[in-house]
Amino acid sequence: MAESALTQAQPKVRSSQSLIAGTISLVIAGLLFLLGLNAVGDISKFVLTSQRAGVTIAAPDLVLPTGISLFILAFLVAVLGGYQIVSGSKRVSLFVGLSAVVLVFGFLIWATHGKSLNLTGMLVSSVIRATPIALAALAGIYSERSGVVNIGIEGMMLMGAFVSVVAASVTQNLIIGVIAGILAGMLMGALHAVLSIKYRVNQIISGTVLIILGLGITSYLTRLLLDVYPDQLNSPPSAIPSLQVFGLWRIPVIGPVIFNQSSLIYLLWVMLIFTQVLFFRTRWGLRVRSVGEHPKAADTLGINVFRTRYLSVLISGAIGGLAGTYISLGVAGQFTEGISAGKGFLGLAAMIFGNWMPGGAYLGALIFGFFDSWQEKLSILQIGIPVELLAMAPYIATMIVLSGFVGRSRMPAADGVPYQKE
Amino acid sequence: MSDQPEKTQQTPTPPPEKRTLIQRIFVRRGARDTVLIPILAIFTAMLVGGVIIAVSTPEVRDAWRQFFQAPWEAIKITIETVWNAYVALFVGAFGSPSEIVNGFRTWIQTGNSLTLLRALRPIGESLMLTTPYIFAGLAVALGFRGGLFNIGAEGQIFVGGLAAAFVGYSFKGLPWIIHLPLALLAAILAGAVWGAIPGFLKARYGAHEVINTIMMNYIAFRLADYLLQGPMSRPDRMPITPDVLPSAWLPTLLPSPVRVHLGLIIALIMAGVVYWFLWKTPLGLEIRMAGANPRAARYAGIRIAVIIVLTMALSGALAGMAGANQVLGVEHRMVRAFSSGYGFDSIALALLGNSHPLGVVLAAFLFGFLQGGAAQMQATVGVPIEIIKIIQGLIIIFVAAPEIIRSLYRIKTKEEKEKLIAKESQISS
């Protein structure tokens, strides 16, 4: 009933939407202009040389006149906004998105005025911070594309993080640790699957169970075991090493950011492409999506809805476990209580941000990761603006995207609905 | 689902059963499932918890290694360990009965109440821990009744706490009769706003409230980070607020060292208010209708959008009161890590209490007393306090999937029973 009302109102909504979007761009332009006025004579210095683990990859510094750069950016955004309003273009999300990106970088230029900032280091840490979020988002995509809402990724991550560290410590073998972490996540996935598919428990409640149990079990065992035997159980041989790709890792800026990262990050990239192909180019992917959109129709066509959902949720658990493994074994090199720190929820947000698509989700994760390291750098620069408030930006952005102010994100139709055979 | 019309066609309508007042209050129709399943769920979860405690105790594991030499010894040690742990949990939650009796005796004989109060301290602590659970559980239950998932109780508790703390320390010279309600009101408003935003986004734009309430949690955490380090921090720049003035404290119900305070009474009153509101007012009916069947409610002329925003605002207000309760009753200031997972526990509470205020209150008592006893259990028997979280998780599993409990204890559902009866009558005829 709501649909018909929506389609009727469509043209009007469109034009008002592009008007709002254009206005947002113009406001951003104004903001950039003011920032420029604030730092007219200054210079922003961005260091591009990377220093990691004792290896220096030299690159010339990027020196920008703060005021002029900001004025140019303001002009570009103003043109963008003006064009948006005049043309009434439908690609609202593109325009607003571009303006927002320019605003973020403009802000960075302003914040650096009279100081210097290591841009390469910031990008490297953005990619690192984005990885667990992206993995969590990928875990969410597998589950939700098949119609099972999974808010329990946080619990899967905690179990994966815990088990992988313990396994790696006991065997002193990183690969066994990673596999164990994946299996632990799958175990949680199996619990979620049994509860929500077999017993048709409300999927959000089932997800809450995963979170409570994941936190409870790992904290319990931490007190009982890890705190008592830290040397035997909480000291893996090393963190997962970086992989340097041939000579490419020596390229300035790009090298450190893309070609000298943890092996798990490459695994993530491979998985992202693989997932995209799997869901949109293979028969299996089509089946999973049909189960998530209209399980009854899929069932009529002979697709086993239950088996498809079980498999998808198990895969989701495996990836969730891997996400936890990356945090503990991949970065921290040990397990501490509550180590996932809400990355699972951010993953869900990234998934929605990316409209349940692997590429979009990774973009969302990169934005979260970027803001995370942005916030850290800004607090070092001491710009006089409370960093905590700026840190709210990605959450607010997610809410805006979810509300369809900027482009519509659409969840699988049967997401969250338990399937019952008649 | 259970009372479908076609069944009544065959069986003659049974005579209206006579129910006493007590039955009418406590035993609702279909009460067996709403009462029996949670009790069995709690029992089963404690049983599984017992196994976990046993497995994680070294002495028990050693005893089981010698199982073939001394089988009874192994079983005895296992039962003893679990028994001791749960006794410690009980004593930690309620206090030692003998000490309480002793305290009473001294008080009556000498008029010195200190021994009694010391003996009552554990139960007071448990009641104090119960209070935020009642508020938060009611918040989520109210949302459930309106068909909304408020996962953001945590954030609403945070902003409620911030608002209460702000009014509590900055408004000076007010009498408590004005100051305390004002601080509470501030928390209620803050929580209501925090809940209403996702409600509005759902009503107006169809944005799912689960993700939005989670996002609002993070925004609340960042807001707290900012306020506690900047505008609201103590003069010495510690990330905590100045102390709330005593005129805004929730007064304790008994002298020190018992810390249970007026918040408990307010929470219980709120449970009554929520019950009255949902079941005895037209607006409450609209909320429940919107929750039970939004489409039917829409055709009945209910303005769903308004109801959604209202439900979320009320839910947030209740959660905000939980925050005020912690600030005005327990901490007397706002600290950064101040709500420990009430947001998710409250979902469990609402579920366990079948989203009914009475059920939520009982579930909150269970959680509060488990929490209160767990510290004692950790101190005396060395079982980590987190066992409580595992038991809570198991309770939710068993309540949410009653089929597990049914198959464990071979309880038949109404439909199955009727089928069985029908089959038997077929055979006999």
Q: Mean pLDDT, to the nearest integer, of A389-409? A: 73
In this complex, the residue of A151, A216, A352 whose CB is nearest that of residue B393 is A216
What band does A185 get if pLDDT is binned at 50, 70 and 90? very high
Question: Is there a contact between A392 and B393 if contact means CB atoms under 8 Å apart?
Answer: no
- Between A and B, how many CB-CB pairs are < 8 A? 128
Identify the three-state secondary structure at position A243: strand
**pLDDT tens digit sequence for B247-270:** 888 888 888 788 888 999 999 999
- Kindly report whether the global pTM for this prediction surpasses the value 0.95: no
- Gap between the Cα atoms of A172 and A232, Å rounded: 10
pLDDT at residue A273, rounded to an integer? 94
**What pLDDT, on a 0 to 100 scale, did the predictor assign at position B39?**
87
Distance CA B201, CA B205 (A): 5
**pLDDT over 60 (residue A150):** yes
**pLDDT tens-digit readout, A320-336:** 999 999 999 888 888 98
Distance CA B89, CA B16 (A): 45
CB-closest option in A209, A395, A402 to B219? A395
Distance CA A113, CA A217 (A): 48
* A381-403 mean pLDDT: 78
- Where does the pLDDT of residue B340 fall: very low under 50, low under 70, confident under 90, or very high at 90 and above? low
Nearest CA in chain A to B206: A403
Q: Compute the distance between CA of residue B141 and CA of residue B277 in angstroms, rounded to an integer.
A: 13
Q: Provide the chain B residues 133-172 that lie in CB contact (below 8 A) with chain A.
A: 149, 151
- How distant is the Cα of A177 from the closest Cα of chain B, in angstroms? 23
Q: What is the mean pLDDT of residues A401-415?
A: 69
Chain A partners of B214 at a C-beta cutoff of 8 Å?
Answer: 151, 345, 348-349
- B221 to chain A, minimum CA–CA distance in Å? 9
Average pLDDT over residues A66-83: 87
Q: Residue A362: pLDDT band by 50, 70, 90 thresholds?
A: very high
Give A1's contacts in chain B (Cβ within 8 Å): 295, 298
Q: What is the pLDDT of residue B228?
A: 87
Q: Quick one: closest CA in A to B350, which residue?
A: A205
CA distance B396 to A202: 11
DSSP symbol at A172: T
Tokens of residue B102, six digits: 């002793």
Contact A195 B397 (CB under 8 A): yes
Task: Tell me: pLDDT of A296 over 50.
Answer: yes
- Inform me whether the pLDDT recorded for A194 exceeds 90: yes
pLDDT of residue A186: 96
Q: Specify whether the CB–CB gap between A399 and B199 falls below 8 A.
A: no
Question: Is the minimum CB–CB distance between A211 and chain B shorter than 8 Å?
Answer: yes
> Beta strands A116-118 and A43-47: pairing type?
parallel
Kindly report, residue by residue over B117-171, the tens digit of the pLDDT.
888 888 999 999 999 999 999 999 999 999 898 888 999 999 999 999 999 998 8
**Rounded to a whole number, what is the distance in Å from the CA of B122 to chain A's nearest CA?**
23
pLDDT band of residue B25 (cuts 50, 70, 90) is: very low
Place of tokens 């951003």: A28
Whether residue B173 contacts residue B389, with contact meaning beta carbons closer than 8 Å, is answered with no
Indicate the range of A105-114, A288-297, B117-126 predicted with least confidence: A105-114
Give chain B's mean pLDDT. 84
| Residues A83-97, mean pLDDT to the nearest whole number | 77
B71-117 tens-digit pLDDT: 888 888 888 888 988 998 898 888 888 888 888 888 888 888 888 88
Q: Which amino acid is present at B137?
A: G
Q: Which two tokens stand for residue A377?
A: 């750098």
Asked if A386 lies within 8 A of B230 by C-beta distance, the reply is yes
Does the pLDDT of residue B353 top 70, yes or no?
yes
Query: Is B429 exposed, middle or buried, given 0-12, 13-18 or 19+ CB atoms closer than 10 A?
Result: exposed
What tokens appear for A208 in the block?
A: 């809450």
Q: Do B222 and A405 make contact, defined as CB atoms within 8 angstroms? A: no
**pLDDT value of position B381:** 82
Instruction: Kindly determine whether residue B207 and residue A217, on different chains, have CB atoms separated by under 8 Å.
Output: no
DSSP strand pairing (A116-118 vs A62-65): unpaired
Cα distance between residue B61 and residue B38, in whole Å: 31
| Chain A residues within 8 A of B222 when measuring between CB atoms | 388-389, 391-392, 395
Contact status of B210 with chain A (Cβ, < 8 Å):
yes
Instruction: Specify whether the CB–CB gap between A372 and A422 falls below 8 A.
Output: no
pLDDT of A3: 40
Confidence of residue B13 (pLDDT cuts 50, 70, 90): low
pLDDT of res. A12: 46
Q: DSSP label at B413? A: P
Nearest chain A Cα distance for residue B217, angstroms: 9
Q: What is the predicted pLDDT for the residue at B95?
A: 85
Q: Of the candidates A209, A392, A402, which has its C-beta nearest B396's C-beta?
A: A209
Residues 6 or more apart whose Cβ sits within 8 Å of residue A280: none
A12-25, pLDDT tens digit by residue? 445 677 788 888 88
The pLDDT tens digits of the residues spanning B370-387 come to 988 888 888 888 888 888
Classify residue A384 as left (phi > 0), alpha (psi -120 to 50) or beta: left
Give the pLDDT of residue A179: 95
Instruction: Give the distance from residue B5's alpha carbon to the nearest chain A alpha carbon, in angstroms.
Output: 19
Burial B184-204 (b: 16+ CB within 10 A, else e): bbbbbbbbbbbbbbbbbbbbe
Q: For chain B, percent helix, then strand, then coil, each to nearest 5?
A: 75, 0, 25
Answer whether B375 touches A (CB < 8 Å): no
pLDDT: is A399 or A75 the higher one? A75
Mutation target for B interface from A162, A195, A204, A205: give the one with most B CBs within 10 A. Answer: A205
A212 and B389 within 8 Å at the Cβ level: the answer is yes
Q: B285 to chain A, minimum CA–CA distance in Å?
A: 23
Backbone angles phi, psi at A44, to 5 degrees: -105, 130
Q: How far is A260 from chain B (nearest CA, A)?
A: 32
By Cβ distance, the residue of B151, B212, B387 closest to A220 is: B387
Residue of A nearest to B405 (CA): A199
A contact residues 7-26, partner B, Cβ 8 Å cutoff: none
CB spacing of B392 vs A205 below 8 angstroms:
no
Tell me whether strands A260-262 and A242-244 are parallel, antiparallel or unpaired.
antiparallel
Q: Which residue among B52, B218, B344 sits closest to A395, beta carbon to beta carbon?
A: B218
Does the structure show a pLDDT above 60 at B3? no
Residue B69 pLDDT exceeds 50 = yes
- B15 has a pLDDT exceeding 70: no
Cβ-Cβ contacts under 8 Å, A140 against chain B: none
Contact A395 B215 (CB under 8 A): yes
Q: Show residues of chain B in contact with A212, CB under 8 Å.
A: 344-345, 348, 389, 392-393, 396
- Residue B257: asked if its preceding bond is cis (omega within 30°), the reply is yes
User: Does the pLDDT of residue B8 top 50, yes or no?
Assistant: no
**Is residue B63 exposed (0-12), middle (13-18) or buried (19+ Cβ within 10 Å)?**
buried
Cβ contact, residue pair A205, B226, below 8 Å: no
